[in-house]
A = this chain, B = another copy of it.
Amino acid sequence: MEWSLRTDLPIYSQLVEQIRLAIVSGKLHPGEKIASVRDLASEAGVNPNTMQRALQELEREGMVFAQRTSGRYVTEELQIIEKAKVVLAEKQVQAFLITMQNLGYSSEEVINLLQSRKETKDVNS
């Protein structure tokens, strides 16, 4: 996995977000084994405790589950993943619209922009 950490949010919550994204976008598959806490932590360049906290939060959400000695796995309950996907998409839309409004674009202008962009692409393809 590739990790990107920012300075303005708690690390553990960014880890949660990124692992969740990996699951929701299918980079980690349902039932797939996840690397060990220690490995993930060294990969992301954070303390194992911080990674542990992120994974426990994901467990609480039902996105992953731990098996005592063998490691952690992505959930196999697809409806949990699907629901997380919808929530995440909603958040992305929200954040995008706020950014665009800061740039001076109304919702309507944003939609027009996407629409015209799509049409250009449709014609070209």
Contact = CB atoms under 8 A, between A and B. Distances in A.
Contacts of A92: 96, 99-100, 103
Sorting the interface of chain A by its residue count into under 10, 10 to 19, 20 to 34 or 35 or more gives 35 or more
Contact of A3 (B7, B97, B113): B7
A contacts with B: majority SS: helix
Interface stretch (A28-36, A67-75, A104-112): A104-112
A103 B4 contact: no
A114 B107 contact: yes
A115 B118 CA distance: 15
29 contacts: A2-B8, A3-B7, A4-B6, A4-B7, A4-B8, A5-B7, A6-B6, A6-B7, A24-B103, A25-B102, A25-B103, A26-B104, A85-B104, A88-B103, A89-B100, A89-B103, A89-B113, A92-B99, A92-B100, A93-B100, A93-B114, A93-B117, A97-B114, A107-B114, A107-B117, A108-B118, A111-B111, A111-B114, A111-B118
A-B residue pairs, 6 tightest by C-beta? A4-B8, A25-B102, A96-B96, A107-B118, A5-B7, A6-B6
